């Protein structure tokens, strides 16, 4: 079944707006947030023409093959850092449910900080953006992109990116996927600010205990990913024994 306004109206018991084509669902959600959208409101698009990823990158959402959704939340300021965890964890748990029915075992994990991996390749990413009025938090948007049946074969992403359907070996309805995902988002949104959320996210990090290279705005760090700090920062021990606390960056194993 296709993703469309009628199906979503029947299935989503929450304020939502559906766009067959959008620039970025995060931009639309931020505008709606400033216009007074209640917490839990969602923007969904079939296609994004200027989807955005982390670190200033683009995010492709061709029509008919992916899920692009942005959830508006009104978190307490001191829980803001947990929104990325909330997004990645919710996606990973949704994929767990789908993978349980797969004819073969498929691993689901999170690569620090927020890439969700299926069978070791990136299937989904999370982009959190917040709105401020001076130093007052107006709210935040958790943008999630999932590759459902995006064909990466023959592209330079083929060895890094994957889609849900070919990986699980069966069709996945995007409306069902969205409904399941929002249930997990609601579950964790009700637990924002708790240590349990960070614990559940940490338990799924495939990065920990591995030798990694992390590129940050301050430089490149190589060493052992030892753990995560209070706000979800990566604790990396370099070959000289120095422990670095890395808040953002691009991570590669090895
Ligand atoms: C990343 O891994 O770099 C994050 C990708 C986030 C993509 C999603 S798709 C829905 C929302 N709208 C956007 O423009 N970006 C996020």
pLDDT at 224: 98
* 234, 225 contact by CB (below 8 A): yes
Would the CB of 71 count as within 6 Å of ligand 1?
Answer: no
Please write the tens of the pLDDT for every residue from 131-190. 999 999 999 999 999 999 999 999 999 999 999 999 999 999 999 999 999 999 999 999
- Ligand 1 site, residue 127, Cβ cutoff 6 A: yes
Structure tokens at 127: 């982009």
pLDDT tens digits, residue range 173-204?
999 999 999 999 999 999 999 999 999 999 99
For residue 143, with 0-12 CB atoms within 10 Å meaning exposed, 13-18 middle and 19 or more buried, which class applies? Answer: buried
Give the pLDDT confidence score for residue 104 in this predicted structure. Answer: 83
Q: For the chain, which residues score pLDDT lower than 50?
A: none
Compute the distance from residue 48 Cα to the ligand 1 centre, in Å.
10
Is residue 166 in contact with ligand 1, taking CB distance under 6 Å? no
Q: Among the atoms of ligand 1, which is closest to the Cα of residue 57?
A: 3
pTM of the model as a whole: 0.96
Task: Provide the 3-class DSSP secondary structure of residue 94.
Answer: helix
- CB-ligand 1 contact for 87 (6 Å cutoff): no
Ligand 1 midpoint to CA 113 (Å)? 14
């Amino acid at each position: 079944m296709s993703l469309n306004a009628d199906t979503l109206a029947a299935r989503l018991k929450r304020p939502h707006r559906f766009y067959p084509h959008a620039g970025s669902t995060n931009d639309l959600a931020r505008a709606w947030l400033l216009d007074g959208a209640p917490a839990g409101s969602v923007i969904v698009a079939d296609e994004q023409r200027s989807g955005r990823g982390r670190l200033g990158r683009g995010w492709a959402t061709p029509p008919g093959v992916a899920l692009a959704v942005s959830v508006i939340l009104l978190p307490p300021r001191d829980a803001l850092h947990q929104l990325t965890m909330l997004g990645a964890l919710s996606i990973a748990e949704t994929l767990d449910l789908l993978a349980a029915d797969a004819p073969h075992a498929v691993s689901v994990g999170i690569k620090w900080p927020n890439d969700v991996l299926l069978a070791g390749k990136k299937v989904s990413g999370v982009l959190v953006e917040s709105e401020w009025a001076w130093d007052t938090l107006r709210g935040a948007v958790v943008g999630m992109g999932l590759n459902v049946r995006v064909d990466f074969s023959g592209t330079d992403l083929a060895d890094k990116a994957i889609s849900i359907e070919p990986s699980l070996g069966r069709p996945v309805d995007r409306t069902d996927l969205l409904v399941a995902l929002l249930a997990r988002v609601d579950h964790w949104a009700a637990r924002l600010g708790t240590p349990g959320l960070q614990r559940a996210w940490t338990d799924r990090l495939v990065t920990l205990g591995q030798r990694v290279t992390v590129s940050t705005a301050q430089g490149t760090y190589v060493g052992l990913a030892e753990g995560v700090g209070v706000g979800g920062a990566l604790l990396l021990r370099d070959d000289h024994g120095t422990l670095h606390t890395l808040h953002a960056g691009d991570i590669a194993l090895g």
